[in-house]
Chain A
């Protein structure tokens, strides 16, 4: 299937998964999984950097639009997209090969994806929850929310990737 089409489809499905399903599952104040960022995580390696930012911006804005939080998810998601190339470089180490550029994120091995996604989810959630609280009061609350939400987001992301990617892998 066309690469663009896959990503547009992923955008729509993850957006609806987030605003119609996940946002309505109220586990508690401390657990708010935000799985829509999987869209940004899975953009191909070859995505031009400007398109990476614009895609993240579009995703964040759409989520904000549904959640009536203008700017909150947008800024966190754009920040995460900004750090994505750096994180890829760090996780891959010096032996990042040229051929990797042509592969999709899903073709990397499990450990690589786990570290890569955890780092970026962490970046996203830290900026998101601090922007939401907009203060350093109740640091304990904010840190607990970050920690638990990162764990839950990561679990759901790994499950989704496992179920949907297992068929077409390698």
Chain B
């Protein structure tokens, strides 16, 4: 016993270091899973509130741009609305899954684009109906995936994150592929695993596939800028210019799929059979 105490006294610096480091690495290793709730839920009301003070200063400076963006969005929505009016005038009725979707507007409290793994924090939380694994879209396109929720705030992986891989498709022929981001520029991402038989041209539109239920089908992701076919590989890849300007993200919508729970139950049922 005495020896043990002496040992602890003698090596307390190294032991404490190992203990603290092990704890940090444990947190780090558990922080990136978004399919399981993170062990350490770091989203909190207090840090959210402090960051909000910081962002409100920036808001004031961004008023002009925000105004313009809202006006543009208004115009787009008006256009969509007129389209729907036309449809209802005719006898044509299309089954539309989007009835089950709810869009919750939220304000970005904190956001980064210059790290390898970027996060978005928004000012809506559980109180407002936000849950883990909901998608976030900006007025222009996809932006992130909710991973942590507190009462009043929520944290999301930005699409600019190592673990935010997105299932996407080509709007012109519905071919599926995957989106990833490796930096350094927040404007451009990479589309991987494109089968070689697909014709890809710069300017092609990329939208969400709707396969993951994080995002409804057909939400804008971006447009192809460059196309590569590496020799000796069966799959090609392409560079994509994001529709969302991550650097200017200030208002977003959280997509809440009311049927998601039901679909997941069905999936579980299938697994059991």
Measuring CB to CB, which residues of chain A are less than 8 angstroms from any residue of chain B? 19-21, 23-24, 26-32, 49-50, 53-54, 57, 60, 64-72, 74-75, 78-79, 82, 129, 131-134, 138, 141
Contacts and interface: CB of A to CB of B under 8 A. Distances in A.
Interface size class of B (residues with CB under 8 A): 35 or more
Interface string B224-241: 000000000000000000
Given A65-B47, A71-B24, A28 B162 contact: no
Contacts of A82: 13, 17, 21
A105 to B, nearest CB: 19
Contact of B20 (A57, A64, A131): A57
Main secondary structure on chain A at its contact with chain B?
helix
B54 A20 contact: yes
Interface string B47-73: 100110110001000000000000000
Nearest to A26: B114
B185 interface: yes
B244 to A, nearest CB: 16
Contacts of A79: 17, 21
Contact of A70 (B17, B40, B184): B40
A31 B113 CA distance: 11
Contacts of B36: none
Contact of B184 (A23, A29, A66): A29
A70 B42 contact: yes
Contact of A78 (B17, B50, B114, B185): B17
A129 to B, nearest CB: 8
Interface string B17-34: 100110111111111000
Contacts, number: 113
Interface in B74-120: 110, 112-117, 119
A141 B113 CA distance: 15
Contact of A24 (B16, B27, B58): B58
B121 interface: yes
B17 A53 contact: yes
Given A29-B113, A57-B24, 14 more contacts: A19-B50, A29-B183, A29-B186, A30-B184, A53-B16, A57-B20, A60-B24, A71-B26, A71-B28, A74-B23, A82-B13, A131-B28, A138-B183, A141-B184
A67 B31 CA distance: 12
Nearest to A49: B13
B148 interface: yes
Contact of B28 (A24, A27, A31, A72): A72
Contacts of A24: 54, 58
11 contacts: A19-B54, A29-B186, A49-B12, A49-B13, A50-B13, A69-B28, A70-B31, A72-B24, A75-B28, A79-B17, A138-B182
